[in-house]
Amino acid sequence: MSPDYLILGEVRDGFAAMALLRAFMTGHAGSCTLHADSPREALARLSTLLGSEKNVSPRDAVRMIVSSVDLLVQIQIVDEIRRVTSIARLEKKLQDGESVLTVLWQYDETTMANRPGWGQSVDTEPGC
């Protein structure tokens, strides 16, 4: 089989994480869900899942993630409505052995509930 696009409902364990990253690293496009409070925490959780259940070293986990993941989109419930609250790009070059996350867009919490706003951001922060 050669799927055009992979969709994984939720990455809950290292086996699902490894299967997804292997598919991404071989050129398949796709998406998945992962429970975390921020894009940075999502990267850390993915790295932890790979290490704890698949015995992947933290260094190798970071390299696998950086080579296969491009964007992280965070969705939260705000005022009882699901909203995209952050879009971050995972840079392809490591900085001191860590991944670098660039927050492209951030939800502006000061806007009114019926008129959500976005603020452009160019924050670059270390990932996992």
pLDDT of residue 111: 67
Q: CATH number of the domain that 96 lies in?
A: 3.40.50.300
Q: Report angle CA 127, 5, 52 to the nearest 5 degrees.
A: 40
Tally the domains of the chain. Answer: 1
Per residue in 28-66, pLDDT tens? 899 999 999 999 999 999 999 999 888 999 899 999 999
For residue 55, give its domain range. 5-126
pLDDT of residue 32: 92
Tell me which amino acid residue 15 is.
F
pLDDT band at 83 (very low <50, low <70, confident <90, very high): confident
Per residue in 88-118, pLDDT tens? 999 998 888 888 999 888 887 776 666 666 6
Both tokens assigned to 80: 């009882």
Count of alpha carbons within 13 angstroms of residue 47, beta-carbon side? 19
**Average pLDDT over every residue of 64-69:** 92
**Sign of the Cα pseudo-torsion (59, 32, 30, 2, in order):** positive
pTM value?
0.80
Rounded to an integer, what distance in angstroms lies between the CA atom of residue 86 and that of residue 38?
A: 8
Tell me which amino acid residue 77 is.
I
Count of alpha carbons within 13 angstroms of residue 80, beta-carbon side? 1
90, 79 contact by CB (below 8 A): no
Rounded to an integer, what distance in angstroms lies between the CA atom of residue 52 and that of residue 20?
A: 16
Question: In this model, does residue 15 exceed pLDDT 70?
Answer: yes
pLDDT of residue 33: 93
Question: In this model, does residue 2 exceed pLDDT 90?
Answer: no
Beta bridge partners of 89: 71, 102
pLDDT of residue 46: 93
